[in-house]
Structure 1
């Protein structure tokens, strides 16, 4: 929880701040403001649950501030700390549903009692809201899940019981005869999920949908869901006969910008030009897809430069494969992508054609080795040249490793183990370890599990939790700082992982080990 202390006298603000044991009341952050205007700005930005407020201040006095808080932020718990025993002030406190009115000079006991009551009210309200939200959320989520499944089946051309889907559309406030399909390619979705959300797809999906919900609130009925790999579908309710509108463009741009600024998610979008009924949804999908794949991977046209031919590299790659030469594999593929970038003006559609050709080449190489290896194909939705290069190099490395002709045996899995031990607080993926140590991600994952009986992620998490425990036991650093020091940017997610590992949230663990 957050607390805001508002008083024009700095010594009073500091006095309140120093008088209370904030951790005892589960307060993680304290903010200070010297007048009502500054307080409103901080309330808007940080959403504190509790406000300590003086009544006599310049610019905006306490009465004005309390009235605005009560009007715009009715859930905030207010504790007035004033030097005036005035009926007008107490009346304003009552009108704003204040928790207490404490006279200066205040006593520590009075502050503690008021804060304890405010915290209890916050928790009571949160518990009540959670119960209501959980009930409604479960029902709504069940509808969403069913509709997402039915919509996915329809997009794939499967048979769907249309009256049921019509009914779900109406529940969401959409007319089944007037919808529009937009496609969103989450270009760095997989890497972002692994780096920021420790591979938790549910948490990533929740964050994506939550941001989208806020961004699309003014547009109308909609449904957002993951369709295939990194491609998401946005279904919007439209009006009959409407063509492509600037309004939809505006809201989709607002949503994608919010994703980028909030969690660093990069996207490409494709929007169907027309609205239709559910039965014509596949045509809309292909219309949106046609626009999506024209997104530019490399901008700019270089005159006089011909695009490189991928098949010209096949012989060189096969020779490197036979020799177990990982470095040569990397050189050949790197040379190809360098030439491609120099040519410029490459769209996603162009890269998808190269991807299909690359998949045929590696499949042929695998068949020549009489090896049946799963997961060799590159995804056609890769939209970064650098990622495409890395993934294709790794797949050829996998063939070398499966063929048993590995020129890098000197680099043992122990080196990777030691690297993780020294860099556990950093965010790195199997792909990044693969680049550093010249093993495919699959090889690293398999060999690490065989040697240490745990996954790379599990080992990294254990190291982070050990360090977090030590910091909680031996320092007074706030939880948010410890979270950052061990590699988590999101304090709430760190607390969730810590609780899962040790059965207690961080603050309660600290109190337990210190015997207080």
Structure 2
């Protein structure tokens, strides 16, 4: 521990230093200051636990110092030492939290008793501060990152230490049920990811805590999922989940469907209950208008998964036709089953979307077109769910028609470009050999085309003949090289294909209207 003695009289400071039983109180460092200003500087540097202070001092007096200590170093214990037995000073000392009040000349017994009391009080308060700090840090770690990490580990059959269950708010029991809450991607976009998780968990755990029936946490192994572990009141789960569903809908104005797994007897079996809940979630009907989307069993009406691969030949004919109308028959055939039965599950939708992406990739590769599949099919599908959790099939189909239309337009452009590609290859050849004299016959031999055809097509594409194109390209390169002051004009001329630097200067001025030197000066 450290002590600071503040007094403008040296003999008072020396007296306190000599009379105090410092070692007995665990005090190893003693500092001195002659006024309030010096004291503040020393407090900021050394952070003493105990401060003795006079009241009447130059620059900053004891009252001003005590006021500063209360604001900036409130954990220190202060002891006022003064020669003025004045109620005004005593009242101020008490107001600013001083531990005690000593009169000069200081009595040794009174000094050491006051010192002992101050040290004891400081140690007691420090222990409480550390306890509160540790609890606060643990709480912050647990909410939400620590708790989510630990409960995700628990799901992976990783047994936790006994004391952690209580800290996490998890109650070991004889039976458990897992439920899955799905957070819509649109909620993530509208609220932001962190706020979406925070809001969802707050709503869920407030309801669960009131009944002491379970705990919700963010399942880190799966994006957009909150998992609830129940350990009590199993017969009323659907009722409690309906309450949670309605509370989430009210809080975020978005439906968050919930699926329930089967009951298990051990913590190690929680993953089985979770998998069952996931199956229930994947099989529920996205097209129904259910008011409360809480599901407790696999939907038997799900039926077989759709397949686009069965329509491969029809799709190929439609691509060859090059019109989106040719696709309409295929699209109608695929979607008619969903429309007629008024049933589409998440599993069916994901499977349909995956096949669609595979087919897109195949055709894009065939035509050498760029293709970037979505990072997460589930996130893409979420964008077609309305605020009540119902899938907008018509909007989804129209989106696919627009994508197909853009694809067909890209194919047409690609076909046209492919015919003109040879001229662009010639352009690249000219750029790669701009620093030498490339003859038209050399180009004709290189690309197996007649000189007349090359000249005509080049002029059509670039609105200038090959010789003018090369001159402009050389001058553009020269302008870039002129930025380097270390290069001479004749060196630059040679680098861009002119052996005669005078001719280079003449050509440069004709193209740019100024000489190379004038251009270089203009850069400065």
- TM-score tier (shorter): 0.3 to 0.5
TM-score (norm 2): 0.40
Larger radius of gyration: 2
TM-score (norm 1): 0.41
More contact order relative to length (CA 8 Å, sep ≥ 6): 1
